[in-house]
Copies of this chain bind each other. A is one copy, B any other.
Amino acid sequence: MTDGESGPVLHLPARDIPVPASLSPQAQAIVGMGPLDATEYPALDDKDAWRTMIADRDAFIVSMVGDRLSDVPADVAEEVVDGVPVYVVTPDDLPSDDRRAYLEIHGGAFITGGGEPCRIMGLRAVGRSRVRTWAVDYAMPPDHPFPASVNDCLTVYRALLRDHDPGEIIVSGASAGGNLAAAMILRARDEGLPLPAAAVLQTPEADLTESGDSFQTNLGLDNLLTASLMPANLLYADGHDLTDPYLSPLFADFTKGYPPTILITGTRDLFLSNTVRLHRALRAAGLQSELHVVEGAGHGVFLGQAPEDEEIEVEVRAFIDAHWA
């Protein structure tokens, strides 16, 4: 250790890290691919460059996961709910009297994942929820920064409350979608709306200031998130204070109430600290919250391609089944 500008600094030597042999072969293949993403972000004010980058990334997402989900037995309706576009995904075998609603908020660093990727993620979410699922195609930067995205999610939640008991609604999101799901619930709470039955927050981007230790310790180990996401955070925040709980739900006062949550991360996740700190914040407020950490996994477990992902799906399904009203 030596003293740096803001305190002691630990000097870690260069190291060679093998692929953990205990992982499934599929997970080992994912980890063994090395860094999958090498995003270079545009300058904050170059909106056209952002639009190009976003379009490229969305096309990549669709090419990666589109085919695998084309045979999900469900109907997708494109609806507009109080002005917000939503993909409403209904499983083919859903009984007509099933009133439950799964509100799915897609990820994508607050900038990608809209449109076709949102439709695809809605289909994927039905495999988890097995009920009618509302995948919100919320507005995003560069044209619609904070709080547009949270507003859109809240609009859809408010609309669902017109036709559902709150105990019939579960809110879910991964990554930036986990941030928005968590922030939307805070907004709903603070505006006096009833809370949903539960929340599913997978590797949530809970702290846009990136103060978590894993932003340092897992840098280079997570092969999906390979760098700070701060440029996208700043584009999204649009000059607002990043410590605002509606931007960084980690900093909320959870003693004012929050629904039961399930939190999922991996030991190599750049958002490991985001996730375990949110778990501790919820627990410290005396709330129901369960944490699952997948060995060797980076952001988003193993991209849905390994038995370890299915094991987590089993956990999430058990959690949501236990929390529907």
A residues at B contact (CB < 8 Å) = 1, 4, 6-22, 28, 31-34, 211-214, 216-221, 267-268, 272-273, 276-277, 279-280, 283-284, 290-296, 311, 315
- A11-B14, A291-B292 known; 19 new pairs, CB 8 Å cut-off, are A9-B16, A10-B18, A12-B17, A13-B14, A14-B14, A17-B217, A20-B211, A20-B212, A20-B213, A20-B216, A213-B268, A217-B268, A267-B273, A267-B276, A272-B293, A276-B293, A280-B292, A280-B294, A290-B290
27 A–B contacts, CB within 8 A, in A order: A1-B32, A6-B18, A7-B18, A8-B19, A8-B31, A9-B19, A10-B17, A10-B19, A10-B34, A10-B221, A11-B14, A12-B15, A17-B216, A18-B216, A20-B212, A22-B212, A22-B277, A213-B295, A217-B218, A217-B267, A267-B272, A272-B293, A273-B295, A276-B293, A277-B295, A290-B291, A291-B293
Nearest CB of chain B from residue A186's CB, rounded to whole Å = 19
A19 with B32: CB separation less than 8 A: no
- Please indicate the chain B residues that have their CB under 8 angstroms from the CB of A34 in the complex: 1, 8, 10
B211 with A21: CB separation less than 8 A: yes
B8 with A32: CB separation less than 8 A: yes
Count copies of this chain in the complex.
2
- Please indicate the chain B residues that have their CB under 8 angstroms from the CB of A214 in the complex: 267
A291 with B291: CB separation less than 8 A: yes
- Please indicate the chain B residues that have their CB under 8 angstroms from the CB of A292 in the complex: 279-280, 283, 291
- Please indicate the chain B residues that have their CB under 8 angstroms from the CB of A218 in the complex: 217
Q: How far is the CA of A284 from the CA of B293 in the complex (A)?
A: 13
Q: How far is the CA of A218 from the CA of B217 in the complex (A)?
A: 8
B22 with A7: CB separation less than 8 A: no
A213 with B273: CB separation less than 8 A: no
- Please indicate the chain B residues that have their CB under 8 angstroms from the CB of A267 in the complex: 213-214, 217, 272-273, 276
- Please indicate the chain B residues that have their CB under 8 angstroms from the CB of A290 in the complex: 290-291
A295 with B212: CB separation less than 8 A: yes
Q: How far is the CA of A6 from the CA of B311 in the complex (A)?
A: 26
- Please indicate the chain B residues that have their CB under 8 angstroms from the CB of A291 in the complex: 290-293
- Please indicate the chain B residues that have their CB under 8 angstroms from the CB of A6 in the complex: 18, 21
- Please indicate the chain B residues that have their CB under 8 angstroms from the CB of A279 in the complex: 292-293
B16 with A4: CB separation less than 8 A: yes
Q: How far is the CA of A268 from the CA of B315 in the complex (A)?
A: 25
Nearest CB of chain B from residue A312's CB, rounded to whole Å = 9
Q: A1-B32, A213-B267, A290-B290 are in contact. Are A16 and B22 (CB under 8 A)?
A: no
Q: How far is the CA of A276 from the CA of B23 in the complex (A)?
A: 13
B219, B268, B295: which contacts A280 (Cβ < 8 A)?
B295
- Please indicate the chain B residues that have their CB under 8 angstroms from the CB of A213 in the complex: 20, 22, 267-268, 295-296
- Please indicate the chain B residues that have their CB under 8 angstroms from the CB of A284 in the complex: 311
Q: How far is the CA of A293 from the CA of B292 in the complex (A)?
A: 10
B4, B211, B220: which contacts A12 (Cβ < 8 A)?
B220
Nearest CB of chain B from residue A124's CB, rounded to whole Å = 22
B19, B311, B315: which contacts A7 (Cβ < 8 A)?
B19
